[in-house]
């Protein structure tokens, strides 16, 4: 969570609420968007000197605007430069499939149908995010960042999610058809 927040704050200073809403609307499939997890990570980053907070007033409300520090940028750069770890990607739901032979046939069929429904919903959410990204105009974003490159790699992430959801939908649909023929 900390590195995700650092990356977002490199793009633009934000309040805790803005960070939470951005994660909820764009990254909820990657990590939690709960206020508690965001606030806990922000407090840790501030204590470590990786971000700063400045109070702003908006009407009668006071808000904390968070910005990344040089130390935060450096920590993020070190983290982002590390090779991706294939062994870090886990799908714990596969353990349910692994033990599905211990359940009643009707229960496993229902579980697979529900999983397909969830993956279709996930794919729909990602397609909505992709549509919002495609409407973005990098020229309207704050200067100082290579927005076409940022948006390019964010787009790759979205496309990966859509493709992964499509794969799972197809694979589990084939499994469902097989199990409907021979439970």
Check residues 98 and 87 and name the one with the higher pLDDT: 98
At 19-52, the pLDDT tens digits run 888 888 777 767 666 667 888 999 999 999 999 9
The arithmetic mean of pLDDT across residues 5-16, rounded, is 90
Q: Looking at the chain, list the stretches that DSSP marks H as alpha helix, in order from N- to C-terminal side.
A: 2-11, 16-22, 35-47, 70-81, 94-98, 105-135, 147-181
Q: Are residues 100 and 166 in the same domain?
A: yes
Residues 6+ apart with CB under 8 A from 34: 20
Q: Is residue 159 part of a domain?
A: yes
Count Cβ atoms below 10 Å from residue 33 Cβ, excluding itself.
18
Q: Is residue 172 part of a domain?
A: yes
At 44-89, the pLDDT tens digits run 999 999 999 998 877 788 889 999 999 999 999 898 888 887 766 6
Question: What is the pLDDT, as a whole number, of residue 139?
Answer: 73
Which of 82, 102, 127 is the C-terminal boundary of a domain? 82
Question: What is the pLDDT, as a whole number, of residue 169?
Answer: 95
Check residues 183 and 62 and name the one with the higher pLDDT: 62
Total domain count, the chain: 2
Domain that holds residue 137: 92-183
Which of 27, 56, 82 is the C-terminal boundary of a domain? 82
Q: Is residue 70 part of a domain?
A: yes
In the structure, what pLDDT confidence band is assigned to residue 163 with cuts at 50, 70 and 90?
very high
φ/ψ of residue 65, rounded to 5: -100, 120
> What CATH number is associated with residue 69?
1.10.10.10
Q: Are residues 73 and 109 in the same domain?
A: no
> Quick one: which of 120, 114, 107 has its CA closest to 179?
107
In the structure, what pLDDT confidence band is assigned to residue 112 with cuts at 50, 70 and 90?
very high
Q: Are residues 154 and 77 in the same domain?
A: no
Average per-residue pLDDT for the chain = 87
Q: Are residues 74 and 128 in the same domain?
A: no
Q: Is residue 87 part of a domain?
A: no
Q: Are residues 67 and 105 in the same domain?
A: no
Question: What is the pLDDT, as a whole number, of residue 126?
Answer: 87
Q: Are residues 47 and 119 in the same domain?
A: no
At 126-152, the pLDDT tens digits run 898 888 888 877 777 778 888 888 888
């Amino acid at each position: 969570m900390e590195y995700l927040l650092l990356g977002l704050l490199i793009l633009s200073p934000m309040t805790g609420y803005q960070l939470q809403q951005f994660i909820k609307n764009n990254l909820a499939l990657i990590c939690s968007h709960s206020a508690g997890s965001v606030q806990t990570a922000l407090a840790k980053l501030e204590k470590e000197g990786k971000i700063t907070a400045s109070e702003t007033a908006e009407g009668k409300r006071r808000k904390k605007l968070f910005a990344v520090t040089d130390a935060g940028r450096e920590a993020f750069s070190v983290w982002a430069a590390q090779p991706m770890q294939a062994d870090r990607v886990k799908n714990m739901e596969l353990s349910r499939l692994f033990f599905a032979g211990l359940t009643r046939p009707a229960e496993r069929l229902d579980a697979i149908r529900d999983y397909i429904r969830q993956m279709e919903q996930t794919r729909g959410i990602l397609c909505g995010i992709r549509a919002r990204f495609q409407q973005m105009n990098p020229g309207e974003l704050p200067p100082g960042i290579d927005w076409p490159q940022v948006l390019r790699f964010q787009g790759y992430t979205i496309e990966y999610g859509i493709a992964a959801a499509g794969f799972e939908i197809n694979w589990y649909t084939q499994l469902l058809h097989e199990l409907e023929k021979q439970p």
